[in-house]
Structure formats: structure tokens, C-alpha cells
Structure 1
Amino acid sequence: MEDNLKYYKNFPKQKDLEIDFRNIPPILNLDFNALNGILPITNSRLKFITDSGHPPILTVNPSEIEYVYYKSIGVNEFQAISIVFNFFAIEDNPEGSLKGLPYNISLLPMTNKGKIDTWRIELLEQMDVEQLSQEGNLVFTEFNPFQSWKQGMGMDYQIFSNLDYNDYIDTVGFNWGMYFLSPIFDKREIKVLENSTSSKEINAKYRKYKTNLFFKNFSNTEPRRIFGCDSPIELFLLQGMYLKKLTPIIQTNIFKSGDVIANYFEMQDSGIWLGQEQLITQADFYFPDKKLAIFCDGKEFHDLNKDKKINEALNKLDINVLRFTGKDITENLENVLETIQNEYKK
């Protein structure tokens, strides 16, 4: 690993930082803007407001009648959920600020002494929920999205940027915002952003998918990944490819029909639904212009027969395949990158 440290960079000493959203599915960007306030929004919540003589208009700051609703269904506290970004690279913007390129986006519950820390409803009633939801200046040091941040600390970004911080770019988690999650709701009544051109059946499947992703209450303090790399070796290879000016799509689903769809957020944007039974595999990285799929096989004793069948199925779709072991990536990264470059140039 020491020979590969040239692919790492220390966090730069500048103040302003923004997120490069270009490699994130557009529908997920829309979801982020709806992840604030008290969630989820349900038909029962809207009906209670209307039946109480108020217009069914929701703002980030809950109205008094909304708190009455939650108390009426037995809600005493909420989980505070942070939306945390990790970057595999940080670039300089022409205007002097920094731009972070995400390799991971996680949901993280607020914790205290290693346990989930909830917000009492009486406390939340006294707070400016909109200001809390839009708070995006918090930084988690030593954040490991593949496990948990156990040694890190949270601090304001302006303070962090002035510290003599010598650790690496990808070890820092940046809080983009937060929302407050109710422990009681009817999954069938949840309202989420949907594709208006999709069928009711497809939108119902998306609603179920997003409900489990965004609104399932946390039972432990582990981050919940909603987008990005699945393992450290994928991250390491991504950083190497970036320095070679290779920019693949992260985590791409390839189906028996020949459809290649980056993720379920992209599915919703396109208005189609393909179930797991139709999936051939999920490539760790994919170059659509070259129809090139790359897999990082973390275990030395991988299921070779299964890999062979997947390779054959992809080859029938005219998709080329490259596979690398974790040992290849950690000990011979330059050779791995050369192999990818040679295949990409064909």
C-alpha cells in the first residue's frame, strides 16, 4: 500500500467547498432537496391538517397542528438523520473555491456515546427546524463509510479548514443537511417524488424502494449507504483512474435484456423498472462509451464459475470485462491502471 500513496492527496488548506453533483443521478439530487424537516410526509398527516381547518401546506418548519398530529399518534421523539458525503478527489475551482467529487453518500443517525441520540418532540417544538435541516457546515473527521466513524469528531467546516489537518481527502465526511425521522407511519401512505409518466405499479415499487432507503428507522449507528463505492479497494481504484483521466460510472446494473442502468435512481428517472430477477450483475465501474465493465474482486477465493457465467452473459451483449483482485489493486495498481487504459483505447 505504501507504494500507492501517491494516489492519495491530503486535504487542501482552503475554506470554501462545494459538491460536484454532476456524477450523481438527477432524481437523487431532487430527493436531497426533499429530505428536510420532519419525514416522511403521509396522507394521514395531510388529512389531519385539513380536518383541523388548516390548508394542507407543509413547510420545513412544522406547524403547531403538525406537532399535535404526531402527539396524537404516539410519537414522542425523532431520529435526526445527517446526509453525509465523502469525496475521492477535490478540485480547484477557477474562482478559488474547492469542488468535491463524491464516491459515497451515506445517511447517518445522530449519536451520543456510541448510541443513537433522539430528539424529544418538546425540544424540536422549540427549535428552528428549517435552520437545522439546512445546516451543511458540519464535518466528520476520520469518517469511514464502509464501517463507521469511530474515532472521528464533528466540527464546523470553517473551524476545520483552519486546522493543521494532514489526513487524506477521502477520510473526511461532509454533512450536506439533515432531517428528522418519525418512528411511526404507515408505509402505504408515504408521499415521495415520482415519475408522472410511470405506471402506478412502477411508482409503487419505487415508493417501497425509497421508503426502505430513506425512512427506515435506524437500529444501530452504522452509516446507510445510498450511493457510491462498496469497498475500499473500489475507492482506491477510482482514485487511480481519476489521475489517469478515466471517469467511469460507479455501480452499474446490467440486465439480461441488454439494458444498462447505473442505479435505481436512474431507473425512476427513465420511468422503467427491472427487478433483481432480470439482473445479470452489478459492475463496480462501467464505461458506457466503450461498453467496458470493471469488477474489483475483494476475496482471493472468488467464485470463479459464477464469474465465468457472468462474463459470458456480458460478452453476449458485446460488453467487455476486466476483473482485478484486491491484491492486484493494493500491490500493483499501476499495472492495473495500464491494463484499463489499454482496453479503453481499443
Structure 2
Amino acid sequence: MKNEFRKKMIQNRPAILLGDATFRTLPKLPLSLDWTSIPELIRIAMLDLGGVQPITTAMAKAAGGTLYDKPSDGEVELFRKRGTKFQLISVVLSCVAAGEADGGMQVRPFAVTLIPASKRNEVECRTIELVAKLDVSKWLETEPMYSGYDPFSGEWALYGNLPGYLDGKREGFLDEIGLVVDQFFLATEIPEDDEILMIDLRMPSNEMKARFEKHRKKLLFTPFKRVEARRVWGAETPIELFLIQALAKEKLFPESQILIMDDGATFPSLYHLWQDIEFRHSEGLVTEADLYFPTERVAVFCDGAHHARCKQKAKDAAINAKLEAVGIRPIRIPGGEIKFDLLRAVSRVKEALC
């Protein structure tokens, strides 16, 4: 299905990447998906996605305790009485190449997004009767995907299926293929007295836990008002992606978007969580690293132009000192260096890892 009003794709790719013909050619199937690049905490935060979401106490009571992807008769009756409508949401992975595996290309996610099903550029809403009849697993068997997809802008060109599209001959970029790996039905209304059941994410303090869970609910369970892609986790800017791709060529695979505490502990971050001022001021929280190598304890920051300002330089220096005090080495790489001298940027990271 063509999405006429979405044209833009990832721009300003470094010449050193474009000089590799394999980088400019879409791979052929099969793709071997390496989930380990998605931090465990993020995987746990999204573990229960499937069936009807969010899971609530009223749903558990109506189902008699055990919940399945297919809603029980009790849940159907509950949502019928409420008049609840549902949006079909796809969980979409954007990936980079990470070598070969099982006779095909191994790929590692660098971003996770949610995209609602749509018709005539409007978000589709469905009744519980239709939800109860549909088997989304059958749709996933066709290996759906978004092509010409820019996870940073949330725009795409086409929605279709992988078989026949990835044949190893077509020009294009792997990072502009959005793989649909799961789908769920999002309730558009939940009564205030119906508690949403949460997985214990084991954050270091009750303060951080409450704010992390609040942000998680907002990202995963806010109904869509328009057709768009909603970022959940991953690289926040194209310059981070370019560095990730260049490091992957060197078989170096850092973690993305890592919160660092003043005792040296680290926790993965959800998308835009660091922009929450209250969360940023949580006790003991130092910073969010763009990329992080846990074994070597190296934090990489892909700094935009504003980091050249005197006030920001002072903030960066203070953060660097706090990281060094707990045995973490900070590496700050200007965005311009990644765009125009990517080999130097990679070399600096490799030196820090030695």
C-alpha cells in the first residue's frame, strides 16, 4: 500500500558509507535477527505486547485470571459493554547489517517504533467483535514491512511484504526497511479506575521507577490521533546511526541510549525519556550516553552543534568528570566529524576501547 504523502528518507549519508556498494544494495532473504542489540530492560518493557493492550485488572478479572492474545468471552463482553474501540499497532524494527549468519545477513535493530494501521490516511479503529475474530499471527507470516522508511522523521514510502522485495539486486538501504515483528490491539479508552498492570522494571529508585513507567505508558499506550511512527527506543539522530553502521563494519556493537548513575550503574533509556526535565533531575542520575560499551566502560556522545557553546562545554566537562570518577571513559565526537570524517570518528572510538 503506497503512502503518497510520505517521501523523505534518511539524508546526508557519509561518503565513506556510500562508497560501499553492498551498503547501497538491499540484502536478500533470509535475514537473521539479532535481538541482543535491544537492551534487556527495553525487551522486558515490551515483552507483554500482543493481543489487547494495555493489560488491566478488569481484563484479568473478566478472563478469570489467565490472559491470552485472543480475548476471552469475558473480555469481549467487558469491551462490548464499554463500547471500546481498538487500533491495530505494528511493532517495527529498523536494522543495520552485522555480518553473515545461517546463510544470510545478520541484522541488529537500531530503533523500535510503533505504527498504527490506517486507511485513506486515517487511523483505523475496530470493534471488539472484529478484534476477537482476527488472527494477526497469520498477517505476520507474510513478513510485512515498511520500505523507504525513515525512523527519525517517521515517514515511509510503501507498505508491503519482504518476500520478492529483498532479492539482493535492488538498490536501496537496509536501514530504510522497517520490519514488522509484532502487532497488538490498543484500546482507545481505559476507565480511570481500571488499573494498568505493569512489569517490574527494577529501576534503582522508586522515583525513577515511577517516571520511567509513566513514560512507558505514554509511549506504548497513548492512542494514535494521526498516521505516524512513534519512536520507542534506539538511536535518536542519523549521525548516531552512521557511527553505529561504521562501527558494525569493525565488528563493534555498542548499546544505544544508556542512562548512567553516579555510582557507575547503567540502565537503558526509552526514546525521549531524557527530554523529561523531572526524570533528568532524578537523584543519582548523571547523563544519557548515545552509545555505550559496557565491557570496556566507554561512553560515546555524538555531539550536535550546540555542544560548541561555552555554557554547554562547561556542562559536558562536568559530566565527563563525573563519569571518569566512576571508571567510565567519555568520548565526545562532533556531528560534523561523523558526517565528513567518519573514519577518524571510528578510530577515536577504537582507541578508547583498547
TM range, smaller chain: 0.7 to 0.9
Go from structure 1 to structure 2 and tell me whether the alpha carbon gap of 1:189 and 1:198 turns closer, same or farther (over 3 Å shift): farther
Secondary structure at 1:124 match in 2:
helix
CA distance, structure 2, for counterparts of residue 315 and residue 200 of structure 1: 26
Say whether residues 1:229 and 2:235 are aligned partners. yes
Q: Aligned residue for 1:280?
A: 286
Does residue 343 (structure 1) correspond to residue 352 (structure 2)? The answer is yes
Give the count of matched residue pairs.
329
Give the match's secondary structure for 1:104.
Answer: strand
**Structure 1 residue 40 corresponds to structure 2 residue 54:** yes
- Does the CA contact (< 8 Å) of 2:148 and 2:177 recur in 1? yes
Deviates more, 1:79-88 or 1:136-145: 136-145
Partner AA of 1:35 in structure 2: L
Residues 95, 110 of structure 2: 8 Å contact kept: yes
Aligned pairs for 1:160-199 within 5 A: 160-162=165-167, 164-186=169-191, 189-194=195-200
Q: Deviations over 1:213-249 (max 9, x none)?
A: 3212223333222221010000001111111232222
Residue in 1 aligned with 2:246? 240
The 3 A distance-change label for structure 1 pair 257 and 309 is same
* Partner in structure 2 of residue 81 of structure 1: 89
Alignment of 1:249-328 (within 5 A): 249-263=255-269, 276-299=282-305, 301-302=308-309, 303-328=312-337
Alignment partners' CA distance in 2, 1:274 and 1:310? 13
Distance between the aligned counterparts of 2:112 and 2:142, measured in 1? 14
Instruction: Name 2:10's counterpart in structure 1.
Output: none
Query: CA 1:201–1:326 in 2, change beyond 3 Å: closer, same or farther?
Result: closer
> Which shifted more, 184-193 or 202-211?
202-211
| Percentage of pairs with the same residue | 26
The structural deviation recorded for 1:175 is: 0.4
The runs of at least 4 aligned residues of structure 1 exceeding 4 Å deviation read 30-33, 195-207
**Does the residue aligned with 2:199 lie in a helix, a strand or coil?**
coil
| Matched letter for residue 182 of structure 2 | G
Aligned equivalents of 2:266 and 2:210: distance in 1?
Answer: 22
What is the alpha-carbon distance in structure 1 between the residues aligned to residue 209 and residue 239 of structure 2? 35
Instruction: Give, in angstroms, the shift of residue 335 of structure 1.
Output: 1.4
- Bigger shift: residues 191-200 or 110-119: 191-200
Whether contact under 8 Å (1:43, 1:190) holds in the other structure is yes
What are the ranges of 5 or more consecutive residues in structure 1 without an aligned counterpart?
Answer: 50-54, 266-272
* Matched position secondary structure for 1:179: strand
Residue 25 (structure 1) aligned to one of 31, 36, 39: 39
**Whole-angstrom CA distance in 2 between matches of 1:196 and 1:239:** 31
Report the counterpart of residue 19 of structure 2 in structure 1: 6
**Equivalent residue for 1:70, pick from 74, 79, 88:** 79
Write the distance in 2 (CA, Å) between the matches of 1:47 and 1:279: 38
- Residues 1:335 and 1:264: Cα distance change in structure 2 (over 3 Å): closer
Residues in 1 aligned to 2:221 and 2:51: alpha-carbon distance in whole angstroms: 13
Change (3 A) 1:207 1:341: closer
Once the 2 structures are TM-superposed, how far is the Cα of residue 260 of structure 1 from its aligned partner? 2.5
Q: Distance in 1 between matches of 2:208 and 2:48?
A: 20
- Distance in 2 separating the partners of 1:123 and 1:130: 15
Q: Which runs of 5+ in 2 are unaligned?
A: 1-13, 272-278
RMSD between superposed Cα atoms in Å: 3.0
> Are the counterparts in 2 of residues 148 and 221 from structure 1 also a CA contact under 8 Å?
no
Q: State whether residues 264 and 327 of structure 2, in contact with CA within 8 Å, keep that contact through their aligned partners in structure 1.
A: no
Question: Residue 165 and residue 119 in structure 1: after superposition, are their counterparts in 2 closer, same or farther (change >3 A)?
Answer: farther
Q: In the alignment, what sits opposite 1:104?
A: 111
- Do the aligned partners of 1:38 and 1:182 also contact (CA within 8 Å) in 2? yes
TM-score by length of 1: 0.83
Alignment of 1:213-224 (within 5 A): 213-224=219-230
Question: Comparing 163-172 with 279-288, which one deviates more in the overlay?
Answer: 163-172
Q: Residues 131 and 31 of structure 1: is their aligned pair in 2 closer, same or farther, counting only changes over 3 Å?
A: farther
